[in-house]
Amino acid sequence: MVVVRRKDKKGRVLLSGESQRKDGTYQYRYTYGGKRETVYANNLNELRQKEKDIQELLDAGLNYAAGMIDTIGLVAKYVNLRQGVRYSTRIGYQFVSNILERESFCRKPIRDILTSEAKAWMKKLFYEDGYGYSTLTAIKGVVSPAYRMAYEEDIIKKNPFDFDLSGVVPNNAKPRQALTDEELTDWLDFVKNDSTYRKYYDEFIVLLGTGLRVSEFCGLTLQDVDFHARRIWVERQLARTRSGKYYVEKPKTKNGVRYIPMSTEVYESMQNIVQQRYSGGPEIIIDGVVGFLLLDQNHRPKVALHIENELRWCMKKYQKQNPNKKLPTITPHVLRHTFCTNMARSGMAVKNLQYLMGHSDVGTTLNIYTHSRYEDVAKEMLNINVVDTNTEQKKRKIG
């Protein structure tokens, strides 16, 4: 029996599943998940590259089902399923993936990974490779949900990364500290009176007086500032990719869309920012948004890096001029942290503070951003009259 092999118009033998269409293009048909699928290509070389990619996916699927996929492949599968994530999240995924690629541990089949081995790997990254606690948290924050996915689909019997990292390695991450009243006064006085950096004073006042995330501040437009009602409307963040492309996205949490009232200081600083804003040319439109409040020296919208640099430059000059009055590193997040802590110390109800901060979980407001100091505790405790001595004396007289 003679087997006749199908050929294309150029006389090249076509493989199983391949065919040439009437218009000269090519197609490849295959079965995946019990369904017939088809891919198309302009030429045979392009089609066969697609076939190769498809086969790799099919092989990976078989390996995944058998638990033979490794941690690198598992994380890649998990990341590919995460659609619509933020640019910063994608960068984080890539950062973790780059670390995994260098680790021999991550090439073992996931079905063979024990919790003790996962813990030992975390220790190795910390003690031998020198990764900090924050980096390990980022790695575990991607690897653990990937393994959870495999567990929920019955690929593995247990998620080996389902453990508390702080019980495996010490938490050496530096806790965020709010600026003290004295530190804040020293620093603001310096900025306000410095001939070079006082132009940034109003921006710092707004961050300190609103608790805005820096990317939310950069995302504000002229239309978002209501001077009549003395409030700011927050509904977006402005950021920029490493390649320099601007993009607009929603606030970090669903509660991030909110109004923020303006104090007298913030109101005045906002007026200064608007009055000094360049308005002599066409406005840049980014994802349909126009009229951004903060512009750089080239009249383009500012992003977080601009304000981070402003703070760093100010800090450098301050420390040089005040060697005996050291300040902690001041970042936009430290200003947000300071705002939240000061609001809490002033007695603001926690649900109101949660609203202002745009937190989705009140636990974040309580556990991360607010810290008690001995001075605050002592002051409040001594103002509370636990025992009413007059009442006690009355009881004795009656008795």
Write out the catalytic residue numbers. Answer: 213, 252, 333, 336, 359, 369
Do 155 and 65 touch, CB atoms closer than 8 A? yes
- Angle at which helix 304-321 crosses helix 201-210, to 10 degrees, equals 110
| C-alpha closest to that of 267 among 330, 202, 339 | 202
Report the distance separating Cα 227 and Cα 160, nearest Å: 54
Report the distance separating Cα 335 and Cα 210, nearest Å: 9
Report the distance separating Cα 99 and Cα 387, nearest Å: 60
Token pair, residue 99, equals 């670390």
| C-alpha closest to that of 305 among 320, 294, 321 | 294
Report the distance separating Cα 203 and Cα 279, nearest Å: 18
| Tally of CA atoms within 13 A in the half-sphere of 35 that contains its CB | 3
Report the distance separating Cα 307 and Cα 273, nearest Å: 14
Distance from first CA to last CA of the chain, Å, rounded? 119
Token pair, residue 365, equals 């407001």
Strands (E), the chain: 18-20, 26-32, 35-41, 225-226, 231-234, 237-240, 246-249, 258-261
